[in-house]
């Protein structure tokens, strides 16, 4: 790997969040820049909500070319951007920003990254029935991307039913052909079940009752740490194919990298970097 020697032409990228110091993105993107010999660095920026109104001015002055956004700013950044991609507009949520000739443009690569992780794992979704657990930011990105990719039926299950209803309305608005319902009924038999909640990150909790686990053909948990959540352990015990969230994390970064550089991202090296950072 060729190292980067910082000079007057080095470009600056980063991630904003609060907290941000545990982010895996600086190492992943730095690895990618180095491997492709791109003269750029990627840094974490601890930004509090009160600083957002001045942030883009500060980034313009200091020459930042692009940045990622993590919690809790994905929605709050939107009013300050000049342009939004279609997905970012629909979701009103942004995780990737690039400086363009016409201003700062926001994208949301969480959903498209998720779709790429499925295609990498040979999981087909067109025409299938998908049950999503959760209705927060991650669920919305994933559900919108799945609807655009031709999922036929969607079931949304959430602790707070009003949020499930609001996601169902959004899906109907963007896709006329899709059938959406909230709440699981015995025998629904979804092809794919996706956990988007944080349940399973700590302890032995499983976000999905056994009857649903037993009623599907594929289980996806977007949690990547631990690599095998209690839900995925159940899937393994019952010989149900499963996927964790590592590749979703990877591909949202891959897509951001490609938006910034216009180059094909070094996916294998980025994955290795993530694995070393998270599980190493």
Q: Which residues bind ligand ATR (CB under 6 A)?
A: 134-139, 158-160, 163, 196-199, 207
Residue 66 vs 207, nearer CB to ligand ATR: 207
Residue 197 vs 273, nearer CB to ligand ATR: 197
Residue 216: count other Cβ atoms within 10 Å of its Cβ: 21
CB 176 within 8 A of CB 150: no
If 0-12 CB within 10 Å is exposed, 13-18 middle and 19+ buried, where does residue 249 land? buried
Instruction: Give dist(CA 240, CA 10) in Å, integer.
Output: 48
Cis peptide before 72 (omega within 30 of 0): yes
> Shortest approach of ligand ATR to residue 38 CB, angstroms?
30
Residue whose beta carbon is closest to ligand ATR: 136
Strands 96-100 and 64-69: antiparallel
Residue 176 vs 204, nearer CB to ligand ATR: 204
Instruction: Give dist(CA 72, CA 212) in Å, integer.
Output: 31
Residue 135 vs 155, nearer CB to ligand ATR: 135
Longest dimension (CA), the chain: 63
> Shortest approach of ligand ATR to residue 12 CB, angstroms?
27
Residue 31 vs 196, nearer CB to ligand ATR: 196
Whole-Å CA distances, 115 to 93, 121, 249: 17, 10, 11
Residue 33 vs 107, nearer CB to ligand ATR: 107
Whole-Å CA distances, 178 to 145, 166, 168, 172: 12, 15, 10, 7
State the catalytic residues: 74
H-helix segments, 36-94 = 52-62, 86-91
Instruction: Give dist(CA 187, CA 230) in Å, integer.
Output: 23
CB 120 within 8 A of CB 252: no
Instruction: Give dist(CA 155, CA 184) in Å, integer.
Output: 7
């Amino acid at each position: 790997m060729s190292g980067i020697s910082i000079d007057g032409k080095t470009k600056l990228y980063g991630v904003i969040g609060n907290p941000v110091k545990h982010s895996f993105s600086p190492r992943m993107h730095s690895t990618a820049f180095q491997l492709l010999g791109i003269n750029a660095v990627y840094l974490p920026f601890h930004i509090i909500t009160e600083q957002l109104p001045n942030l883009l001015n500060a980034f313009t002055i200091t020459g930042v070319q692009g940045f990622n956004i993590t919690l809790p700013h994905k929605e709050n950044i939107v009013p300050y951007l000049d342009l939004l991609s279609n997905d970012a507009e629909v979701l009103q949520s942004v995780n990737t920003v690039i400086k363009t000739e016409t201003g700062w443009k926001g994208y949301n690569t969480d959903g498209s990254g998720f779709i790429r992780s499925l295609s990498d794992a040979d999981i087909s979704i067109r025409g299938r029935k998908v049950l999503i657990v959760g209705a927060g930011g991650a669920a919305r990105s994933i559900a919108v991307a799945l609807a655009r990719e031709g999922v036929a039926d969607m079931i949304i299950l959430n602790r707070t039913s009003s949020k499930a209803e609001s996601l169902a309305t959004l899906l109907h608005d963007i896709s006329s052909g899709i059938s959406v319902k909230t709440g699981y009924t015995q025998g629904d038999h979804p092809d794919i079940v996706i956990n988007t909640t944080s349940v399973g990150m700590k302890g032995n909790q499983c976000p999905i009752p056994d009857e649903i686990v037993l009623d599907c053909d594929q289980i996806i948990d977007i949690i990547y740490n631990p690599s095998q959540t209690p839900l995925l352990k159940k899937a393994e015990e019952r010989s149900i194919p499963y996927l964790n969230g590592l590749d979703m994390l990877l591909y949202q970064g891959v897509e951001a990298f490609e938006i910034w550089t216009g180059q094909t991202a070094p996916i294998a090296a980025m994955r290795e970097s993530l694995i070393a950072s998270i599980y190493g």
